[in-house]
Chain A
Amino acid sequence: MHSCADNLVTDTPDDEFECVAHRPNSMSDKPLHYCPGCTHGIIHRLVGEMVDEFGLLDRTVGICPVGCAVFAYEYFEFDSIEASHGRAPAVATAVKRADPRRFVFTYQGDGDLAAIGTAETVHAAARGERITVFFVNNGIYGMTGGQMAPTSLPGQKTTTSPGGRDPALTGHPIAVCEMLSTLPGVAFAARVPLTSPKNVNLARRYMRKAIRAQLENIGYGIVEFLSTCPVQWGLTPIAAMKHIDADVIKVYPPGVFVDRVPDARAAPVGAETDAGSST
């Protein structure tokens, strides 16, 4: 589909060149509708890379949220379901229980997962559903015009908190990973800021574990991405990433909160996965 050497290197033998970066095969060729510099695009690409890497294209079902990523199903080659606002974990539970062979993930923003869908999220985690959650936390309602979200930082100026968020009036931000980490059904919970190539690589490592938590039938996996919303924050994409590194990670410390997934290197799983991918 988007094979590397498509039009770049045509008159040289293929075995001389290798592709180090290209659009994942699980992603469709449609242009993304996100604002310039929005990390949604990076996370879409990471999801596509993971589905490619695990060879799950045939049996993946993505559950799309309401929010900026409402059209996520347009950008992937696998099947997706559009859930009502916040109900993605409930839909994912249904799909996974109906057909446990499927790889089911939800892709949710903070207004979806941490506001209207908190109950579904907490109870899906409490039941230890075998689903994987990719949580995009940018601390604001981006699509609807930059309103305050439960995850907005104290003092953050939004269209509904023009003087800055006042915790005495509107409460403190919800740290979803910390909240879920107390539940025994959660197999993997980690938070990563998407602010540099190094952190993108770290995000890949976390996503592999969260996916393995489901595939190896261990439990619920969640990866929280600290994302930017350059337009609604009123910053350039680069300044928005610096804002995450300087301020956001003080409220949302990155790291692994729960890890019940055994290390791939500890057991000779490598040989098995090699054999698995070739069949």
Chain B
Amino acid sequence: MPVWSVRSERCKGCRLCVEFCPRHCLEISNELNAIGYYPARMHDAGKCTSCALCADMCPEAGIIVVRRKRKKKT
């Protein structure tokens, strides 16, 4: 399963990652962060394919996506 993480203390809740996630596995949290925004969070990690389109659109450069290496074709 891929590891997805956002730096919640940096997130300004602009919703771009939520909008552009093709698998709809992100959502806006209902808890405020320290700078007064509702940050994004993963709500369905099972559907995440680690395509990293959320990170492509994140204006805060705060999303990290790590995945298990694909096995090389031999």
Residues of chain A at the chain B interface (Cβ within 8 Å) = 4-5, 8-9, 15-24, 27, 31-32, 34-42, 44-45, 48, 196-197, 200-201, 230, 236-238, 241
Minimum Cβ distance to chain B for residue A200 (Å): 5
B32 is an interface residue with CB less than 8 A from chain A: no
Pairs A–B under 8 Å by Cβ, sample size 9: A21-B63, A21-B65, A23-B61, A23-B62, A31-B10, A31-B60, A32-B59, A45-B58, A201-B56
Q: A8-B5, A21-B64 are in contact. Are A238 and B59 (CB under 8 A)?
A: no
- Complex: A4 Cα to B61 Cα, angstroms: 13
- Complex: A17 Cα to B5 Cα, angstroms: 15
B26 is an interface residue with CB less than 8 A from chain A: no
Interface of A is mostly: mixed
Q: Are A9 and B61 in contact (CB under 8 A)?
A: no
- Complex: A27 Cα to B61 Cα, angstroms: 9
From B53, B59, B65, B66, residue with most partner A Cβ within 10 Å: B59
Interface residues on B, range: 20 to 34
- Complex: A35 Cα to B14 Cα, angstroms: 9
B3 is an interface residue with CB less than 8 A from chain A: yes
- Complex: A197 Cα to B53 Cα, angstroms: 6
Q: Are B59 and A8 in contact (CB under 8 A)?
A: no
Minimum Cβ distance to chain B for residue A52 (Å): 12
- Complex: A40 Cα to B16 Cα, angstroms: 14
Q: Are B62 and A16 in contact (CB under 8 A)?
A: no
Interface string of B32-62 (1 = CB under 8 A from A): 0000010000000000001011111111111
